[in-house]
Amino acid sequence: MTQPAPKQHWVGHADLDAFYASVEARDHPEYRGRPLVVGALPGHRGVVAAANYAARKFGIHSAMPIAEAYRRCPDAIYLPPDMARYSRVSRDIFRILETITPMVEPVSVDEAYLDLTGLERLIGSPETIGREIKRRILEGTGLTVSVGIGPNRLIAKLGSEYRKPDGLTVVHPEQVPAFLSPMPVASLRGLGRQTEKIFSRLGIKTVAQLRSLPLSYLEVQLGKRAAANFHQQALGIASAEVVPGRGRKSISRETTFEEDLLDQETLHAVLRRLTAKVAATARREQLSGSVVTLKIRFAGFETHTRQHRLTVPTHDERVILREAWRLFLHGKLPRKPVRLIGVGISDWQQPDSEPTQADLFEPPQKREKDDRLLETLDRVADRFGKGKLQLGYATKSERRKLR
């Protein structure tokens, strides 16, 4: 008796094109066709969060200092981010993707992996599925998306990058070697600066060149773990697993100051506002994090991060602020003016799991009271806007504003 052929796995990767900038252009038709940059405003300190493709022709890209972006294109439209609006559009996009398949794994606000295995009988070929994804998102949101489809996550991701913007690339299993061969090794996942230097020293520029080298030789140059990783990628071998609900790995907020700050009261007040935003997002997404991360940047882009693991996962800004400030004070950071400060939480507690360790000294009544307080805080924010009500104390300058 002949065995049935194994089912072909198909993974899709949907990546919105210049998402923040595209939302702005959609909502403001007068911006269309012009270079558009979302991020810090010219004359202020900060970086580019997103640039549309007209701006990218001037060499502007995300994470570029805004002063450099303005030098390259002073005539571009510069806008501050509207994260609340982008989040609303993001939720619409994920709802549309879930009409294609329930197996959707968000990676960020503007990209996701999809398990498309078995949909050929319902929708059609992988090419037909890709066109349907693009059609539904365009009709539902007015935005374009680039879609890659392949036998695993690596090929799907590289496929979505292949013909941006508004592209569709389907790579069948037998096409994988030819698809990968001419690509620069920098296209592979997890390639850091040190590995890139090693490849450059060895004269390895393309995936085909990397694939031709014996694994034993790569192990000598990179170490066993890294060698195995890049060797497998060069062969097109990667995971096809898509995990719905895995979603984002962390929630963070940061801000860059106009002038470097040393005053601890001001830094604490800024950190409190950032933690309030982080905690509100976590509660809205029903997430509780076990790891608090503090990010500090000084002049010359000298950046430090410090982390602390909590015994009980939280989405309470008071807990996050307390631990982040403790990291600031006792994390052996340089005592010099701060250019950027940021805070985040990660390592989520699963919604259906028990807390890692209950606080034996906190009565249940207090936890219930805290939960009600946080719910009230979120309702006030939903009705009157964020920042109208905050937990904690006000600084002297904030108290003067309240008089």
Distance set, CA 347 to CA 112, 149, 168, 319 (Å): 19, 29, 34, 15
Helix axes 83-100, 19-27, angle to 10 degrees: 100
Q: Which residue has the tokens 């030098």?
A: 71
Distance set, CA 237 to CA 3, 182, 191, 197, 296 (Å): 24, 17, 16, 24, 38
* Whether 43 contacts 186, CB under 8 Å: no
Strand 145-150 and strand 168-170: pairing?
parallel
Residues ≥6 apart with Cβ < 8 Å to 253: 274, 275, 277, 278, 342, 343, 344
Return the number of other C-beta atoms located less than 10 Å from residue 58's C-beta: 17
What positions carry a catalytic annotation?
111
Segments of 263-325 assigned E as strands:
289-297, 303-314
Q: At 122, is the secondary structure helix, strand, or coil?
A: coil
Distance CA 51, CA 61 (A): 6
Which neighbouring-strand residues pair with 12?
Answer: 114, 149
Return the number of other C-beta atoms located less than 10 Å from residue 381's C-beta: 19
Handedness of CA 391, 397, 401, 403 (dihedral sign): positive
Q: How is the beta sheet containing 11-16 ordered, strand by strand?
A: 104-108, 111-115, 11-16, 145-150, 168-170
* Whether 22 contacts 143, CB under 8 Å: yes
The phi, psi pair for 340, rounded to 5°, reads -140, 145
